[in-house]
Amino acid sequence: MDYMDNIRNKLALLPDLPGCYLMKNEEGTIIYVGKAKVLKNRVRSYFTGSHNGKTQRLVANIVDFEYIVTSSNMEALILECNLIKKHMPRYNVLLKDDKTFPYLKITNEAHPRLEVTRRVLKDKAKYFGPYPNAYAAHQTKKLLDRMYPLRKCGVMPKEICLYYHMGQCLAPCEKEVPKSAYEEITQSIAGFLGGGHEAIKKDLQKKMQEAAEELYFERAKELRDQIIHIDALMEKQNINTPDTRDRDVFGYAVDKGWMCVQILYMRQGKMIQRHSSAFPFYGEAYSDFISYVTQYYSDNPALPQEILLPDSLREDSVLYQSAKPVIAVRAPAEEDILGSEGAPESPEDAAEREAASLEAAAAGVVDAAGGAAALQEWLGVKVLVPRRGLKKQMVGMACQNGKVALDEKFRLIERDEERTSGAAISLGLSLGLDNLNRIEAFDNSNIQGTNPVSAMVVFIDGKPARKEYRKYKVRTVQGPDDYETMREVIRRRYERVLKEDLPMPDLIVVDGGKGQISSAIDILQNELGLFIPVCGIVKDDKHKTAQLLIGDPPEPVALGRDSQEFYLLQRIQDEVHRFAITFHREQRGKSMVISKLDSIPGIGDKRRKLLLKHFGSLKKIKEASIEDFRPLSIGEKLAGQILAALRDEDPLAPGAAELESEPASE
First to last CA, the chain: 38
Per-residue CA distances from 577 to 223, 454, 519, 571, 589 (Å): 56, 9, 19, 10, 18
Same domain, 579 and 475: yes
Question: Do 206 and 278 have their domain in common?
Answer: no
Q: What is the CATH classification number for the domain harbouring 246?
A: 3.30.420.10
E strand residue ranges, 212-269: 247-255, 258-267
| CATH number where 502 lies | 3.30.420.340
Q: What is the 8-class DSSP label of residue 502?
A: P
Last residue of a domain, one of 79, 95, 111: 95
| DSSP 8-state symbol, 631 | G
Q: Which helix (H) or strand (E) holds 340?
A: helix 334-342
What are the pLDDT digits (tens) for 383-430?
999 988 888 888 988 898 888 888 888 877 667 666 777 888 888 888
- What's 265-281 look like in SS3? EEECCEEEEEEEEEEEC
Residue 536 pairs in a beta bridge with 510, 549
Q: Which domain CATH number covers 62?
A: 3.40.1440.10
**Per-residue pLDDT tens digits for 518-555:** 999 999 999 999 999 999 888 766 656 677 888 878 88
Give pLDDT, residue 630.
Answer: 81
**Burial of residue 366, with CB atoms counted within 10 A of its CB: 0-12 exposed, 13-18 middle, 19 or more buried:** buried
Q: Which residue has the higher pLDDT, 113 or 348?
A: 113
pLDDT value of residue 335: 31
Count up the domains in the chain and report the number. 5
Say which residues have a Cβ less than 8 Å from residue 541's Cβ, sequence separation at least 6: none
Q: Is residue 360 part of a domain?
A: no
Closest alpha carbon to 398 in 239, 233, 280, 193: 239
Contacts of 644 (CB under 8 A, 6+ apart): none
Mean pLDDT over each residue of the chain, to the nearest integer = 77
Same domain, 305 and 415: yes
Domain final residue, candidates 216, 235, 254: 235
* Same domain as 229, residue 90: no
| pLDDT-based confidence at residue 488 (cuts at 50, 70, 90) | very high
Same-domain pairing of 45 and 138? no
More confident call, 147 vs 577 = 577
Residue 439 has pLDDT above 70, yes or no: yes
CATH of the domain at 643: 1.10.150.20
Q: Is 575 helix (H, G, I), strand (E, B) or coil?
A: helix
Residues counted in the chain = 666
* Boundaries of domain holding 282: 241-316+368-426
Indicate whether 139 belongs to any domain. Answer: yes
Residue 523 lies in a domain: yes
30-60 confidence digits (pLDDT tens): 999 998 888 988 888 888 866 666 677 788 8
Among the candidates 213, 235, 257, a domain finishes at 235
